[in-house]
Amino acid sequence: MTNITSATNAQTIARLLQNSVMTAGATAPLSARVVSTGQNNMVPMRPISAYSDAELNSLEHNYRKSARTSGGTYTLRDVMNEKARRVTGGLDGTHLVSLILDLSNKHDDGYTTYADLWAALFPAKPWCGNATVRAIMEVMDIAIKHCVDNGLPIVTTLIVRTGTRKHSTNADQSEQKL
């Protein structure tokens, strides 16, 4: 994985992603999947969003217990994505990647800040310390998962600290591991 160190690299990523964000993930959306009744009839499946938290936990438990990631109506990835979606209030990876790119394109250096991202996502909520940091990290996890799942560059590297406009120490260490 390449470390983004300049505005030129940030702008290159933005250009690469311009078209791929909207076309990534060509599979049918989870709400549009169907199952066969065995009588040449196809009926819509119950969407994963209709499953209760307990049902999702049970699906995850069963997959992990059997050391499998697929085989049921929904894959383990589908289950984990739905659980993450609920934690973050329904934010999806495509929207987050587009938002990060839009925010970073507004600055000459090609970066955006954690505070900019927070304000864009939750305009009515002020930044309030550790709770905000935890929430923004969950949001970034969704964006990272979307990038990895769709073979896109990790756009969260375009997010920097407000005061220094540099990556946090933790982000620098994570990038070095990549």
Q: For residue range 3-48, what is the model confidence (pLDDT) as tens digits?
A: 444 555 555 565 555 544 444 443 444 544 555 556 655 656 788 8
Please report the pLDDT score of residue 81 as a whole number: 76
- Cα–Cα distances (Å) from 75 to 30, 56, 63, 78, 85, in that order, read 11, 11, 9, 5, 15
At residue 100, the pLDDT reads 95
Above 80 in pLDDT, residue 2? no
Question: pTM for the whole thing?
Answer: 0.53
d(CA 125, CA 119): 8
- For 27-80, the three-class secondary structure string (H helix, E strand, C coil) is CCCHHHCEEECCCCCEEECCCHHHCCHHHHHHHHHHHHHCCCCCCCCCCHHHHH
Among the listed residues 2, 3, 4, 7, the one whose alpha carbon sits nearest the alpha carbon of residue 104: 7
Of 56, 62, 63, residue with least CA distance to 79: 56
